[in-house]
Structure 1
C-alpha cells in the first residue's frame, strides 16, 4: 500500500508499505477520502511538538472497514466509518471525568501513531464511527474538523441572544460560525480576519458581520458592542488580551490555539468583568453529535471544501493549503 510519510521534518515521501494487520480491538480501514489540516503542515515542517517521526500523517479521514481484529464483531466489515483520532487509556483522571482528549497517555492518530494519508489504516474499533448514508463519502472526512467546534461550544454553551465574536475565518473559524448559526441559532455572529477573501468565506458560512482588522482596531469598528462569547480561532498570542478588553462583563472566551509564545493578561482584566476562560483541545467524544448535525443539515461541510486532489499530489495539496489562504480553505484528498 502507498502511505504519505513525513520521514523527518521537511521530508515528505510516498512510501510503499506492507498492509497492516489489525490487532485485538482494532479494525483495518480502506481509506476513501482524507482532508488536510494545519497540524499536518506543522508536522511536515517540524513545528508540531507532539509528533514522532517517521509518521504517516492525516487525522481527518473516512473509509470502509475491510478487516476486523480479534475481539471485534466480524459484522463490522463493510461499515462506512469516520475515525476519531483521539486514542485514550480510559482509566486516568481526565478519562474518568469525560475528557479523553487530554488523557494522561493521549495518542493522536496521525501525530503519535500512523494516520489516514494512506491506502489503509489500522485504528481502534471504538474510534471508527458509522457514517449514515445521508452523508456522502466525499464530505465524511470533515466530521472531525466540526468536532473542534462542537468541543469548544460544549464549554461556551452558546444561546441565541449571545453576541459572538470569532477571531479568524480559517477552517476552524468557519466551522465555529456554522455551529453557532446552524446548531445554536446565535443571532449575531461577528467575524474578524485580515484577508478580504476569508471574510467573504465567513459571510458564505453564515456570519452576520465581518470586520477587517488588518488596519483599523476592532474596538473602533465594534462601536461599543460588547461580545458575550468570543472564540479565538486565529491562535495568535496577542488575541487573548484583545478579547479580554473587548468582552462584555460575564462573557465567555474560548481558546483553540497552541502557540508557545507568551501573552500578557492581568488578573484585574479578568476578574473585574468576571470573565470565564475556556481552552479546548481536539474533541471529547463529539463524533456522534457532529454526525447528527450533518444528518439534520444543521451544518454544511461542503461550504468549506475548495479543492479535491488525488493522494498522489499530496505535496502540492499541502503547499496549496499552506500558501494560498485567499482561495484555499479545506483540501480533500481522494485516496481510492
Structure 2
C-alpha cells in the first residue's frame, strides 16, 4: 500500500509499505479521508518531539472498517468510522476526574502511532479503550467526518470560554479553525461574531463562506480599535485567538469587555512563547484567560452530531481534495494559506 511518511524535517516521502494487520483489541480501517492542518505544516518544517521517524503522518481520520482484531466486539467490516487524534490514557488522575484533554500520558495518531496518510491504518487498542472510535452518522460523508476532529478541538475551546447566548465574539485567524469557531459560536447562540486576520486574501475567502457579522482586516485597520467601535466601546464578551500569534494574544486582552473571556486557542512557537500582558486589565476588568488543548473522545462524538444535524456545516469548508500522492502539494497549500480545508483521499 502507499503511505506518506515523515523521515526528517523537510523530508516527507510517499512510499510503499506492507499492509498492516490488526492485533488483539485493534481495528484495521480503509482510510477514505484524512484532512490536513497547520500542525502538519509544523511537523513537515520542524519535526515534533513525540515523532520517532519514520512515521506515517495524518491525524484527522475517517474511513471504513476493513478487519477487526481478536477480542473486538460491536464492530464489523464495512462500518463507517471516525477516529480521535489525541488518545488519553483513561487511567490517570486527570482522566478519572474527566479532564481527558490534559492527560499527562496522552498519545496521538500520526505521532506515537501511524496515522491516516495511508491506504490503511490501525486503530490502536488504546483508542478503543477510551471510546475513541465513532460511527459516522447517516448522511455525513467521509470528508466531512474527518473534519470532526478539528471541530472537536474548537468545541473544547468554546466550552472552556463559555461562549453562549448573546455574546459578542471575536475570532482572530481566518483559517479552517477560525471558520469552525465562527460557525460553532453561532450554533451556541452568540449575538454577533467578528472575524479578524492580517491576511486579507484569506480573510475574504473565509468571510465569503462563513459570513461573520464583520470581517476585520488587520492589514488595514487597528483590530482593537475596530472591535471597540463595533461594540460601542464595550469590547467583546469572548475573544478567541485561532492563530499562533503573540501579538494576537496581547490584543485579545485589550479588546475584551469587562468580565470577558479570552481563549488562547492557538499555541505559540516553543522558542518564543512569551507575551507582554497588561495584568491590570485582567485585574480590574475581571477577565478570564483560558487555554485550549485538543479534544476528548466526548468532544469528537459531539462534533459528529453537530455536523450531522447541520448545526455546524463543514462540507463547504473543504476547498481542496487531493490524492495521497500529492500530499506534499496539499501541505504547501495549507502553509501558504490559500485554502480553507485540504483533505487527502488515499
Question: So what's the TM-score if we normalise by structure 1?
Answer: 0.94
Distance in 2 between residues matched to 1:165 and 1:16, nearest whole Å: 45
Segments of 4+ moved more than 4 angstroms:
none
Report how many residues are paired. 332
Distance in 1 between residues matched to 2:245 and 2:81, nearest whole Å: 34
User: Aligned-pair distance for 1:218?
Assistant: 1.6
SS of 2:281's partner is helix
SS of 2:246's partner is coil
Give the counterpart of 1:256 among 247, 265, 273: 265
Moved more, 280-289 or 165-174: 280-289
- CA contact 1:226–1:246 (8 Å) conserved in 2: yes
- 1:74-89 equivalences under 5 Å are 75-89=75-89
- 1:78-157 equivalences under 5 Å are 78-123=78-123, 124-125=127-128, 126-157=131-162
User: Aligned-pair distance for 1:292?
Assistant: 1.0
Name the structure 2 match of 1:307: 320
User: Aligned-pair distance for 1:318?
Assistant: 1.3
- 1:53-68 equivalences under 5 Å are 53-68=53-68
- CA contact 1:88–1:106 (8 Å) conserved in 2: yes
Structure 2 residues without counterparts, runs of 5 or longer: none
- CA contact 2:66–2:77 (8 Å) conserved in 1: yes
1:296 aligned to 2:301? no
Distance in 2 between residues matched to 1:68 and 1:216, nearest whole Å: 55
- CA contact 1:178–1:206 (8 Å) conserved in 2: no
- 1:163-242 equivalences under 5 Å are 163-181=168-186, 183-200=187-204, 201-222=206-227, 223=229, 224-242=233-251
Question: So what's the TM-score if we normalise by structure 2?
Answer: 0.92
Structure 1 residues without counterparts, runs of 5 or longer: none
Please report the RMSD computed on the Cα atoms of aligned residues, expressed in angstroms: 1.6
SS of 1:249's partner is strand
User: Aligned-pair distance for 1:74?
Assistant: 6.3
Distance in 1 between residues matched to 2:200 and 2:164, nearest whole Å: 28
1:333 aligned to 2:317? no
Distance in 1 between residues matched to 2:255 and 2:50, nearest whole Å: 33
User: Aligned-pair distance for 1:138?
Assistant: 3.0
Distance in 2 between residues matched to 1:233 and 1:67, nearest whole Å: 38
Moved more, 55-64 or 14-23: 14-23
- CA contact 1:62–1:141 (8 Å) conserved in 2: yes
